[in-house]
Amino acid sequence: MKPEWTDKPVGEVLQLEYGKPLDDADRKPDGLYPVYGANGEKDRSDRFYVDRPSIIVGRKGSAGELKLTEEKFWPLDVTYFVTFDERQHDLQFLYYLLSTLDLPRLAKGVKPGINRNEVYSQVTRIPGLPEQRRIVAILDEAFEGIATTKANTEKNLQNARGIFESHLQSIFTQRRDGWIEKRLSEVSIEFGRGRSKHRPRNDPKLYGGKYPFIQTGDVRNSSHLITSYSQTYNERGLTQSKLWPKGTLCITIAANIAETGILDFDACFPDSVVGVVVNEELTSTSFLEYLLQSFKAALQAQGKGSAQDNINLGTLENQRFPFPTVDEQRSIVKTLTALREETERLEGIYRSKTVALNELEASLLHHAFSGQL
């Protein structure tokens, strides 16, 4: 006989209790118990507020995020924690149930927050305790296998990236005779930082036109080529800045130092980005990008700043980089480009696999809570 499921509001199944502030004096990195914020463990403490397993639900900030805990813990005031009747419900089952409700969609406000009454009003379907435990056993086994596959996928992805990085470093650390150290200005026909000449670059009167304006995030998020931009300049903005040509190598010198990307379109950029238009008789843009990638850690080590790390243009101007002959540069670019493209192909496969695994998890939860397991 098929187990009976009953439609119930969440508020009849569980309660969301408020977390509580914890003084800094009671926090210690090696404390006995975890201290939970809205999106996971934030600290440790020798004090606990709840002495039984529960589910932490983000209340403010990362509202709706879930964390299952099976030890004593302290939930901060940006969280809820779950209480329920253990004679009627299984903790792990309730965790899976809450996972199906997409609680983050209930968040409202500038600093997103969730009202527990809105959670309580969500209607769900609940079977008896024996069926809950049967479903949990199936899901636990399936999700354990999925988690292992995800971990292996991530490891393979890191290995692929590591092979490229290792080969990159070996090329530029094991230099042959004849390599000459030069400044970037010596191999370029144009070298300098982006700029806004008079007005601050966040002046709204400069934006909303046809001229792409990239920022450090657009460089950081690029994969070799910068193919998207987050803002545009109008004619007034263009008079306050400079339009760099397609093919310009962009180098970030603030926030995320030494990220690189090559413009796939004409664009302006702020003074937190340095542009290099290479002299093609001396080098190529692709070679220079690979060269700078190999020096990324060294350049980042020179970063300074209180709010965020940065290096000034002078640091980059005075840095000398090793250049082989043009023929050897072409050979290096050919080798590294083939390896980069293979790495990107593998990354695409691994990303698709991760998406498929996430979809499998969602499908299993859907089947479980529609009585199809």
- The string of DSSP letters for 90-136 reads -HHHHHHHHHHT-GGGG-BTTTTB--HHHHHT-EEEEE-HHHHHHHH
pLDDT at 230: 85
pTM (whole model) above 0.85: no
Residue 206 and residue 271 in one domain: yes
pLDDT at 42: 93
> Which phi and psi angles does 311 have, rounded to 5°?
-120, 145
Residue 223 and residue 268 in one domain: yes
Number of domains present in the structure of the chain: 3
pLDDT at 64: 92
pLDDT at 157: 85
The parts of the chain modelled with pLDDT lower than 70 are 1-2, 196-202, 305-308
Q: For the chain, what is the radius of gyration of the CA atoms?
A: 27
pLDDT at 90: 96
pLDDT at 203: 74
Residue 98 and residue 149 in one domain: no
Say if residues 36 and 57 touch (Cβ distance below 8 Å): no
Q: Determine how β-strand 123-127 pairs with β-strand 188-193.
A: unpaired
Residue 319 and residue 184 in one domain: yes
Residue 22 and residue 144 in one domain: no
Residue 156 and residue 40 in one domain: no
pLDDT at 281: 95
CATH number at residue 246: 3.90.220.20
Residue 100 and residue 43 in one domain: yes
Among the candidates 300, 323, 346, a domain finishes at: 323
Among the candidates 323, 340, 356, a domain finishes at: 323
146 vs 52, 142, 358, CA distance in Å?
28, 6, 9
Residue 267 and residue 191 in one domain: yes
Comparing CA positions, the residue from 90, 123, 99, 114 lying closest to residue 16 is: 114
pLDDT at 201: 57
Residue 212 and residue 157 in one domain: no
Any idea which residue has 């496969």 for tokens?
A: 349
Say if residues 344 and 225 touch (Cβ distance below 8 Å): no
> Which phi and psi angles does 56 have, rounded to 5°?
-90, 130
356 vs 100, 262, 360, 363, CA distance in Å?
17, 32, 6, 10
Residue 86 and residue 171 in one domain: no
**pLDDT 10s digits, 228-253:** 998 899 988 888 888 999 999 999 99
Residue 211 and residue 251 in one domain: yes
pLDDT at 340: 92
Map residue 50 onto helix, strand or coil. Answer: strand
Domain of 353, in residue numbers: 128-176+325-373
Residue 121 and residue 221 in one domain: no
